[in-house]
Chain A
Amino acid sequence: MPAVHDRGGWPTDDPIDREEHEWADWERQTQSLRTVLDNKGFMNVDELRRGIESIAPAEYEASTYFERWSASIETMLVEKGVLTIKEIDDRAKALRDRWGYPS
């Protein structure tokens, strides 16, 4: 069984869906945030991939593309001591409360 990200070594007959989803703002923001962090030396593309590849297989499979980016950015920023998990937990909860989404 190959690693979860190694799709080239993982044959499938699934059709290729060529429909494009409309990007949500948070996805554009997350893509740009990664580049901004790269330019400042906080995480390069290899680290982005390492973060993505270290996501638990079940989450990797279930996540959308930028959800995986979000997980990876978090892994890197926590690993480097820029943010803590608790800070992110608390702020994410505050945002959800602010906008009326269940925590």
Chain B
Amino acid sequence: MSEDKDRGGFFDTGWRPSGDVHRDEDGRPHDHPGVREDVGLGVRASRALAMHELLVEKGVIGEGEVDEMTEAVNKRVPSNGATLVAKAWSDPEFRTKLLEHPKETVIESGFVPEHNADIIVLENTPEVQHMVVCTLCSCYPTQLLGPPPDWYKSFSYRSRAVTEPRAVMSEFGLELDEETEVRVVDSNSELRFLVIPRRPDGTDGWSEGQLATLVNRNSMIGVAAATEPGTD
């Protein structure tokens, strides 16, 4: 968050991403969400809260509707994608289906794509490494991976994923063979990508459940490898 966190100046709202919620001693949030006493409430934060109040008052949205949405959003976690990858590793028929008919297969597996976006599933092999970025903003398969991490949304990842993907992967701990071709794919609002990382050696006979524990989020973005057995 380097570029997001510390840049003040022209439009310094006072709010910083580390800002958290006030909580009572019993852990309940106070009635002023997103505020940290020492940095205050930023301009854009207060305008967002103001818009929410006004929209509820005008009946444009229901009173609890945003909270309900947040509950639904909280169910989007990287283990959703991991179950698909583990199944693809275990079941060749499912793997083919997932690669050839990704959207249908994702939906059949019980995951609803956000605003009906299309999805492409890409498989990493010793020959080809796919890595996903959204250079323009932050598009991401959230129904399978949860909300994108801060680094995925950062200016530096959005730029360097394009110009020096191998160096970026190296920072994430993945040293690729020089012979491995790198393909960087750029997401957009209509199209998201899920990467199937290479299945680690030494996992023969593992159940899907066991395999899923090796499928870390970054490996499904393609910046890292799946977790080696016994190292997590």
Chain A residues with a Cβ under 8 A of chain B: 5-22, 24-33, 35-38, 40, 42, 44-46, 49, 52-53, 58-59, 61-71, 73-74, 77, 82-83, 87-88, 91-92, 94-96, 98-99, 101-102
Contacts and interface: CB of A to CB of B under 8 A. Distances in A.
Interface stretch (B85-93, B124-132, B159-167, B203-211): B159-167
B229 interface: no
Given A19-B1, A64-B4, A101-B35, 14 more contacts: A8-B161, A16-B168, A17-B1, A24-B34, A24-B45, A30-B48, A36-B65, A62-B8, A70-B45, A77-B51, A92-B46, A99-B32, A99-B41, A101-B40
A17 B18 contact: no
Contacts of A32: 66-67, 69-70, 73
Contact of B61 (A6, A15, A36, A88): A36
A2 to B, nearest CB: 10
B33 A65 contact: no
B10 A12 contact: no
B171 interface: yes
Contact of A22 (B18, B50, B61, B69): B18
B49 A16 contact: no
Interface string B1-38: 11111011111110111111100000001001111100
Interface of B: 1-5, 7-13, 15-21, 29, 32-36, 40-55, 58, 60-61, 65-67, 69-70, 73, 114-115, 117, 133, 135-139, 147, 149-151, 153-163, 168, 171-172, 186, 189
